[in-house]
Amino acid sequence: MNLYHEAKSTLEEALRSIVIRRPQRENARLYHELGLTERALGHPRNAKEHFENALRIVNSDSLGRMDREYIEILYMEIAEVCYELGDHRAEEQTYRDVLAILPPGDPSYWTCRLSLARCRTEAGAFEESRDILTEILTNSPRNETRDAAQADLTTIRYTQALRGYESGNLEFSIRECAALLKETREDGALRADLLLLLGHAHFKLQYFRQAREFYVELINSPRTSEYHRDAAKESIARLPVVM
């Protein structure tokens, strides 16, 4: 940690000694390095200010504006610090800014789209996030980006189904859970959540036979956790006795 403090002092001294003749883009590098040092020291707000100064200098320099790769790096540094600060609105705007300069063929384009979708999810804009994630699944050339988008999309759909159940929109909750259940094969924990939620939704609609079927399937699955199995057993015990 002392090394970072020493680096910070050296960089600050370098900034104080800058003369007018020094190219602006060199000043940007100093601010960038100072931002990295502040972040390592656990001062994300100071780091964000330095990264923004670096970006401002680069964008004001005719040669600097041509270095799209470096501008992208600065944007990503700012976005990551915004995330650390919990400022998701600023994080989202940063991703929108960087996407404005990246063509779809750039290797970082779809990663940034994924990050933007996560910002929209954080803001509760689930439908917009779903649209972005679906676009990634259709167009991203990288398997890992598509896999991450698919995982996020599944999480959003389950969240919407759960919220539908909690708000009383039971038919929507059942449709979304049933669709997810057909697509889910390997994720045992998610299948357990879906079966339990389907049982509860049918219980509330007084479709007791269907509710029992979901609970029994959950209990009999060898991959079911004790928590889910106990919850299903308790729910079955509350079902009316059919003579």
* pLDDT (0 to 100) of residue 21: 44
Is the pLDDT reported for residue 211 higher than 90?
Answer: yes
- pLDDT tens digits, 153-175: 999 999 999 999 999 999 999 99
Tell me the pLDDT of the chain averaged across its residues: 89
* pLDDT (0 to 100) of residue 184: 81
* pLDDT (0 to 100) of residue 19: 43
* pLDDT (0 to 100) of residue 12: 57
Mean pLDDT over 239-243 rounds to 73
Write out the DSSP string of 36-96.
HHHHHTT-HHHHHHHHHHHHHHHHTSTTGGG-HHHHHHHHHHHHHHHHHHT-HHHHHHHHH
What fold is seen in the domain 1-101? 1.25.40
CB 15 within 8 A of CB 31: yes
* pLDDT (0 to 100) of residue 140: 94
Is the pLDDT reported for residue 29 higher than 90?
Answer: no
Tell me how far CA of residue 190 lies from CA of 64, 175, 224, in angstroms. 48, 16, 10
* pLDDT (0 to 100) of residue 65: 76
Q: Give residue 27's pLDDT band: very low, low, confident or very high (50, 70, 90).
A: confident
CB 116 within 8 A of CB 100: no
* pLDDT (0 to 100) of residue 17: 52
Residue 150, Cβ density class (10 Å: 0-12 exposed, 13-18 middle, ≥19 buried): middle
- pLDDT tens digits, 71-110: 999 999 999 999 999 999 999 999 999 999 999 888 899 9
**Where exactly are the structural domains of the chain?**
1-101
- pLDDT tens digits, 3-18: 555 655 655 555 555 5
* pLDDT (0 to 100) of residue 179: 95
Which string of b and e fits 164-195 if b means at least 16 CB within 10 Å?
bbeeebbebbbebbeebbeebeeeeebbbbbb
Mean pLDDT over 176-196 rounds to 90
Question: What percentage of the chain reaches a pLDDT higher than 90?
Answer: 69
- pLDDT tens digits, 128-156: 999 999 999 999 999 999 999 999 999 99
Is the pLDDT reported for residue 187 higher than 80?
Answer: no
d(CA 138, CA 135): 5
Write out the DSSP string of 64-81.
GGG-HHHHHHHHHHHHHH
